[in-house]
Amino acid sequence: MTSPAGNRLVVIGEIARPHGVRGEVRVTPLTDHPERFARVGACVLWDAARDEREPCRVATARRHGDAVIVALEGCDSPEAAGALVGRLLAVPEAEAEPLAPGRFYPWQLEGARVVTEDGTEIGRVTGIEQSAAQDWWVVRGGVREHLIPAVPEIVLDVDLAAARVVIRPPDGLLDL
């Protein structure tokens, strides 16, 4: 998840609830690298619904099962921690963790051209919708909008350098 273009943020976690009596928060990691919280200094508290952003600093972070317990500077009571529930912890796009070759962040697809394997232009990726089964890439071509399931049977190639995605849509997918 990112913020509007120009000030892109990469979300690394969501504040789930207060933890303890010192103002710590329990964070659900939204990163493949939860250990990164221990290395984050400055970050952004992001209320995505209102697009309100507030700079903050991580004082300490430690793993706690599947969660991360985070102490934010200036948050020193359970009440202050409770007011942060639902906020996202984000870092600037430039601080996103590098991925293994062949892997990419969904936000890196925004604006990529989508073509079929025979070269037919479908449109450009304008967004990503998440579901339990798989992500759906929103592709706008002219006045049409298509939802393309992000599965290997359909997505044949993603070339980030060329900002191009090649797909093999099953019969009828592009008619929906």
102-154, pLDDT tens digit by residue? 778 777 898 999 999 999 999 999 998 888 889 899 999 989 999 999 999 99
Q: pLDDT tens digit string along 19-56?
A: 999 999 999 998 888 888 999 989 999 998 888 999 99
Residue that has been written with the tokens 């071509």 in this structure: 141
Strands 67-72 and 88-92: unpaired
Looking at mean pLDDT, say which of 2-6, 74-78, 103-107 comes out highest: 74-78
Is there a common fold for 9-95 and 106-175? no
Tell me the CATH class for 106-175: mainly beta
Reading the block at residue 34, the tokens are 């939860």
Reading the block at residue 143, the tokens are 């006045």
How far is it, in rounded angstroms, from Cα 46 to Cα 52? 6
How far is it, in rounded angstroms, from Cα 40 to Cα 78? 22
CATH code 3.40.50.970 for 9-95: no
User: Whole-structure pTM over 0.75, yes or no?
Assistant: no
**What average pLDDT score do residues 83-99 get?**
89
Reading the block at residue 100, the tokens are 């293994």
How far is it, in rounded angstroms, from Cα 31 to Cα 169? 30
Sequence ranges of the domains in the chain? 9-95, 106-175
